Homo-oligomer: A and B are copies of this chain.
Amino acid sequence: MFKSAESVERLVNWLARLPGIGRKSAARLAFHILKMEASEALELADIIRDVKEKVSFCKTCFNISEVDPCHTCTDPNRHADLICVVEEAMDAAALDKAEGFKGLFHVLGGRLSPLDGIGPDDLRIKELLGRLEDVKEIIVATNPNVEGEATATYISRLIKPMGIKVTRIARGLPVGSDLEYADAVTLTRAIEGRQEL
């Protein structure tokens, strides 16, 4: 593509491997980086080095963290008897931004997916079971799709018999959305999950 600039070609190739970035977007990004001040572009090089050196996993909740245990796990203002189970660290970050949850997290590192060969042993389920002492409630916040639901059911069947309350995040209409355009399954869930006013 850029015959006279092999390094730019390499940059495009690297960026095009990122999820959701095709070759055209990659070229646009590479071109943007080219036009940046050198100091700003080199900052990314430093940040990536930093991320790779410092960031690891909290060995309690398996969220990404620079310290172990992470700040969330050691925060005295959080309720240690309430654990929210999510698939990925991104999900925990999203829930953390939304107010209203003050418990701890547990990152499974994926969801059950027999088609992809991902079974219970590939997720941090054993580690979750090891955290249940003194826990009163587990909120399962896996994604509301087939695999996420299967994972939720699996976890619930494991933990409920231990006398711990297991709940699932509500599925219904997104706030600000239009009932007219909602799909049938979401509407069914919204009606099933109705609450008294």
Report which A residues bind B (CB closer than 8 A): 1-8, 10-11, 14, 18-21, 25, 27-34, 38, 41-52, 54-55, 58, 63-67, 70-72, 88-90, 93, 96-97
B27 touches A90 (CB 8 A): yes
Chain B residues with Cβ below 8 Å from A4 are 58, 63-67, 70-72
How many copies the complex holds: the figure is 2
Q: Given A90-B28, A93-B27, are A33 and B45 also a contact pair (CB < 8 Å)? A: no
B11 touches A20 (CB 8 A): no
B47 touches A41 (CB 8 A): no
A51 touches B31 (CB 8 A): no
Can you pick out 29 interface pairs between chain A and chain B where the beta carbons lie within 8 Å of each other?
A: A1-B96, A2-B64, A4-B63, A4-B64, A4-B66, A4-B67, A4-B70, A5-B64, A5-B65, A6-B66, A7-B47, A7-B51, A7-B55, A7-B66, A8-B55, A10-B50, A14-B47, A19-B28, A20-B28, A20-B29, A21-B29, A28-B90, A31-B89, A34-B51, A34-B55, A42-B48, A42-B49, A42-B52, A45-B46
